[in-house]
Amino acid sequence: MSVHDAYGFYTYFLALIGLICLFFIFLDTVWNFLQTAHAILEPYFLPNEPQTLVKKYGSWALITGCTDGIGKAYAEELAKRGMNLVLVSRTEEKLISTAKELEKEYAVKTKIIPADFSTGPEAVQTIKKGLEEGPPIGILVNNVGKQYSYPMYVGEVPEKELWDIITINVGAVTLMTRLVIQGMRERRRGAIVNVSSGAECQPLPLMNVYAASKVYVKHFTEALRHEYSRYGLTVQHITPFFLNTKMNEFSNRLQETSIFVPDAATFAKYAVNTLGKVDHSTGYWAHGIQHFFANIPPVWIRTKIGGQINKGLRRDYFKQKEKKTIQD
């Protein structure tokens, strides 16, 4: 084979490899698009299931982190659908107020269990004791979570805050699942909803540990589904993007409700409607669109973009802090 022929062969070979790679990239993009379309459209355009949530899963739902934000909105949506509620959160006074509000508005039963998940095993034992006499939990919403007070470099984050993020975001979802899943398995019905975050989609500078903890939630949920779907259990993974909640009050831009930054009530209305219909959802249709386009670039680009966004939100925090200092 001459040098010219060898050059032509290797050029052809490399071109073929390139085409094969492009083909698989194209297939991956199409597959992601179809998954996104399915997750967004199926819950809203297919006929409703003949069974209500109560008939399908049982009459009691347990929601963690339920006195504010997504957790409270989930509690309201489930109460609208006739679910009785076990409310678990840190502050007893807020739990009592939330329980009274839900009982009066939706004529459901409630049970409150004050527990601070930052205490780890102590909180789990408190909840376990509170559930000893029932009721059997049909739906578990693992919503409780903690993120940075504002976007920070790891060395700036207080040590206790890091421990709290790890203990709450990783420990609570794991141990709460363990607490109820055996009963669900024996009854061969039940649903576990694990609320993650769009931060799971790539490494996230300035929200580093928070994002890493949400990757755990994603992988834990997907593996759990494989373990327990054969017992008739629903295991759902929710990936919201930015919401107008207290958790994001470090930036005034995230305190303005819009199509892409909904309030918690709007988000939960859509998210609860996906339960039992799709295994993974962003919960809210506009976030589904964001999720699709955000995942098209390679990870290294997404990481840089995420870092730049957080630098902007970090500036927002310091501007707000400076403005408040001047006003005081």
User: What's the pLDDT score for residue 50?
Assistant: 47
The number of domains in the chain is 1
Residues of the chain with pLDDT under 70: 1-14, 21-51, 328
- Between CA 265 and CA 222 the distance in angstroms is 26
In a domain, 167, yes or no: yes
What phi and psi values does residue 230 have, to the nearest 5 degrees?
-70, -15
Q: 35-89 pLDDT, tens per residue?
A: 566 556 665 555 455 468 999 999 999 999 999 999 999 999 999 999 999 999 9
The answer as to whether 66 is a domain residue is: yes
Q: Output phi, psi for 29, to 5 deg.
A: -65, -45
Is residue 248 situated within a structural domain? yes
Encoding tokens for residue 179? 């607490």
The question of whether 210 is a catalytic residue gets the answer yes
Q: Are 177 and 184 in contact (CB under 8 A)?
A: no
Instruction: Tell me if 39 is assigned to some domain.
Output: no
Inside any domain, residue 100? yes
Nearest to 129 by CA among 142, 108, 145, 113: 113
**pLDDT tens per residue across span 117-137:** 999 999 999 999 999 988 999
CATH number, domain of 200, equals: 3.40.50.720
Out of 148, 210, 228, 284, pick the active-site residue. Answer: 210
Say if 15 falls within a structural domain. Answer: no
Helices (H), 52-154: 53-57, 69-80, 92-106, 121-130
- Beta-carbon count within 10 A of 44 CB: 11
Dihedral of CA 174/141/103/54: which sign? negative
Q: Is 114 left (phi over 0), alpha (psi -120 to 50) or beta?
A: beta
108 part of a folded domain: yes
Residue 40 in domain: no
Which range of residues forms the domain containing residue 200?
48-327
pTM as predicted: 0.86
**Cβ count within 10 A of residue 313:** 19
Q: Using alpha carbons, select from 240, 272, 232, 230 the residue that is nearest to residue 141.
A: 272
